[in-house]
Structure 1
Amino acid sequence: MGTLSYTTAVSLDGYIADANGDFQWAAPSAEIFRVHVDRMNAVSAEILGRRTYELMRYWESEPDDESWTADEREFAQRWSALDRIVASSTMASDDVGSPSVRLVPVLTLSAIEDVVRAAPGEVEIFGPTTASAAIRAGLVTDIRFFVVPVVIGGGLRALPDDARLNLRLQETRPFANGTVYLHYRTEATGRP
């Protein structure tokens, strides 16, 4: 049985994208990107929404100009090997580019629990909109934030406004560019 985690870059004021949807301020340095590559060792499946899946399709085929670094190639190989569950009511099965991608029209909490139960390792739920119901329900056991030293003043929040979580710090790590990695484990909140 696996565990469910949520990992994202986040501004100091708690957003993953600004009011215009821009998240370029969160682009990882080479040092941070290497952490993401290493982190993929524990991940066996990804749950994502349509927009995040479309963004991450970039990693499904290497550019012809060989412009990727060794770390980017390694990340792409690890990403492509993962089971990916894409939640979208607007995509058709023809829209997914890999046999390791499963399309589900509605992502229920029981479907998330089934994926986690069947996983041999960590299941990462990717994107705050896709993750919000699982966070609220207490299904997410690990939250990993790469806190970027920028305040953007509004946009897409990293956590749902009505989430109530008790967290226990597991790890911190500062990076040369001022970003700080925070890994928290959730504790029971007393909710049924």
Structure 2
Amino acid sequence: MGSLSYTATISLDGYAADANGDFAWTAPGGDVFRFHVERMGSVSHEVLGRNTYQLMTYWQAEPEDGSWGPDEHEFARRWQDLTHIAVSETLTEADLLSTRDILLPRLDLGRLREIVDGAAGEVEVFGPTTASEAISAGMVDDFRFFVVPRVVGGGLRALPPGADLDLELVEHRVFGSGTVFVHYRRRDDNRQREAGS
């Protein structure tokens, strides 16, 4: 049985993209990227919306200029080993990158629970729009935020409006770039109530 997590890189004021839809400022570099490589070891499934799924095709093969270093090669290897769940009404089976990948027209919470229950590791939802319903339903066990030292003033919020979450801090780290990593987990009493319902 796996667990469900949500990971996002966000601005100091809580946005995953600015008002123009730009999220280039969230790109990890240096020690932050190496940290991403390390944490991928516990992930078995990645749930992505259409745009992110297509964006991550970059990791299917090294660019012709041979610009990847050891960290990029290791991330690509780990990324390709994952089962990806693409949530999209417009993608088709022919667009999938691997025979392991799964296409869902929408993120049905019952199907998501089946995936998590059958997973050998962590099922990570990437992206606030894709994760919104699962967060609101109280299904997400772990929240990992990479908070960059930037204020964007508006845009795509990292958490859905009305979300009521009782969390505890289990890990944090400050990187040389000023990015702060925080890992929160639902409190045990919340998990127990959900298990008994």
Mapping 1:24-63, distance limit 5 Å: 24-63=24-63
Q: Where does residue 18 of structure 1 map in the other structure?
A: 18
TM-score, with structure 1 as normaliser: 0.96
Secondary structure of the corresponding residue to residue 169 of structure 2: strand
* Displacement after TM superposition at 1:88 (Å): 0.9
Q: Where does residue 169 of structure 2 map in the other structure?
A: 169
Q: Where does residue 66 of structure 1 map in the other structure?
A: 66
Q: When you count helix as a share of all residues, which structure comes out higher? A: 2
Q: Which runs of 5+ in 1 are unaligned?
A: none
Partner deviation per Cα, 1:25-61 (whole Å, 9 max, x = no partner): 1221210000000000000101111111011111111
Superposition CA RMSD, Å: 1.3
Q: Where does residue 123 of structure 2 map in the other structure?
A: 123
Contact 1:81 / 1:100 at 8 angstroms: preserved in 2? no
CA distance in 2, matches of 1:57, 1:161: 31
Contact 1:171 / 1:182 at 8 angstroms: preserved in 2? yes
Contact 1:18 / 1:153 at 8 angstroms: preserved in 2? yes
Amino acid at match of 1:175: F
* Displacement after TM superposition at 1:100 (Å): 2.2
Secondary structure of the corresponding residue to residue 36 of structure 1: helix
Structure 1 runs of 4+ with >6 Å offset: 189-192
Q: Where does residue 78 of structure 1 map in the other structure?
A: 78
Q: Which runs of 5+ in 2 are unaligned?
A: none
Instruction: Tell me the percent identity.
Output: 56
Q: In terms of mean alpha carbon deviation, does 114-123 or 61-70 score higher?
A: 61-70
Partner deviation per Cα, 1:48-103 (whole Å, 9 max, x = no partner): 11111011111111112211111011101100100111111111111112222111
TM-score, with structure 2 as normaliser: 0.94
